[in-house]
Amino acid sequence: MLSSDFKEDIEDGKAQLFVRNGIFQVRVYRGDRRYLYRTLKTSKIADARRLAIRCLHEIEFKQKEGLPLTQNTMAQLIAEYVALRQKQYEQSQQAKPNTNTKQGTSIHMLRQIKRVVKFWIEYCGSMAIDKVDNTALEKYIVWRKDYYHQMPKDRIPRNAKLNPTDKTLQWELTLGKTMLKYAHERGYRGKNPLPTYSFTAAKKIVRPAFLLPEYLALYREMRKWIRETKVPAWQHTRLMLRDYVLILANSGMRVGEANNLQWRDIVPFTDELGRKNYMLNVRGKTGSRVVIPRTNAVRYIERLAERAPNRKPADYIFTMHGGDRVITLIDQLQAVLRRAGIAENRHGERYTLYSLRHFYAVQMLRKGIPVFDLARNMGTSVAIIMEYYGRQATGLELATKLGS
């Protein structure tokens, strides 16, 4: 039995032989005070020395050529990445409310990641990380579209969508590229460039806008929902959801912009008609800007303030009962929509929180608000306003306003 105390330097200490459980191992210095370990799968000293030298030369060659030193598979990468996001979620739960750590991976995002990586593991789990290129990503789209169609019917999950939407495919591809970027930053891909392939949707995705009768039905149902509970945590969430919906529907803010709002971002002012209003200094995917909501939103903002008497300037406006910043309220909104019988429009399209932004845009166009002013307030372009919302506004009213 070989002694576990055995150690022997190879080529002036560039590598070191040692023994573990009677089998020779080698440790190779890779720079920056880091080492690579390999088992040589032999108990014979002569074979161990020869294999250790070969291992050392292979690693030196890879370093010189900028090749990855370890041939990790995509399955190993995915496991490491999911573990990181799981850790971020756990840290966010331990952080104090309204801290940057609290904005880490949400439970909803974590669930979505864990659901989608199953496809990536099945598609390319055994493939080396540095072999996943543009061709592999392009073929993923084809493979994913056929995934459930190639599966026996008795194995297809009950809630599975046989034909993934373009939006679903775009999200899954984005996750795959995000994991590859994570690998690239850690040197798992060597000098291989990151793939640049992107999937373009066959048609633009336009979320449905609430019609006015549906919006009013939603408002009435939220009021009933609030009255049905006395549990403090539930009542807080339902009251907050009501004001959240009303503020979004009367300001056109994006969901992420609303979630990021802090009390110091709310600035009161009086308009030229002597009406009180608030400027909302939002931060979102298009940067920072000022949003002017409709004046009836004043009441909803002040209701939120009344329910947070001990608020600090850096506190978030929309928070859950325990003080955590809101990540998403889509589950609560859809629960109310189902109660009201309006979860989908007449075309079978499901309403989302972004339908409130669309509702605002359509209502403003119908009121004759100049499209340029509306685009600036919503943080988008005139072209997007006309392409996504203009077709739902009354054409004659808008044409009259633009032609005057």
What is the three-class DSSP state of 25? strand
Which pLDDT band, with edges at 50, 70 and 90, does 403 fall under? very low
Same-domain pairing of 345 and 225: yes
**CATH value at residue 223:** 1.10.443.10
The span from the CA of 308 to the CA of 302, in Å, is: 10
pLDDT of residue 262: 95
Same-domain pairing of 83 and 55: no
Quick one: which of 267, 270, 249 has its CA closest to 258?
249
pLDDT of residue 121: 96
Residues 153, 75, 112, 175: is their CA dihedral positive or negative? negative
Residue 381 has pLDDT above 80, yes or no: yes
The larger pLDDT score, comparing residue 66 to residue 180, is at 180
Residue 50 covered by a domain: yes
Same-domain pairing of 216 and 281: yes
Residue 375 covered by a domain: no
Same-domain pairing of 309 and 220: yes
The amino acid that residue 4 corresponds to is: S
Same-domain pairing of 294 and 239: yes
In the listed set 328, 352, 376, which residue is the last one of a domain according to the structure? 352
Residue 280 covered by a domain: yes
- Residue 41's domain spans which residues? 7-65
What stretches of 274-394 adopt beta strand conformation (E)? 276-284, 287-291
The larger pLDDT score, comparing residue 6 to residue 403, is at 6
Residue 27 covered by a domain: yes
Quick one: which of 266, 258, 248, 257 has its CA closest to 288?
257
Same-domain pairing of 229 and 119: no
Residue 317 covered by a domain: yes
Same-domain pairing of 326 and 272: yes
- Total of domains in the chain: 3
Same-domain pairing of 236 and 281: yes
Same-domain pairing of 274 and 346: yes
C-alpha to C-alpha distances, 171 to 112, 127, 176, nearest whole angstrom: 10, 21, 9
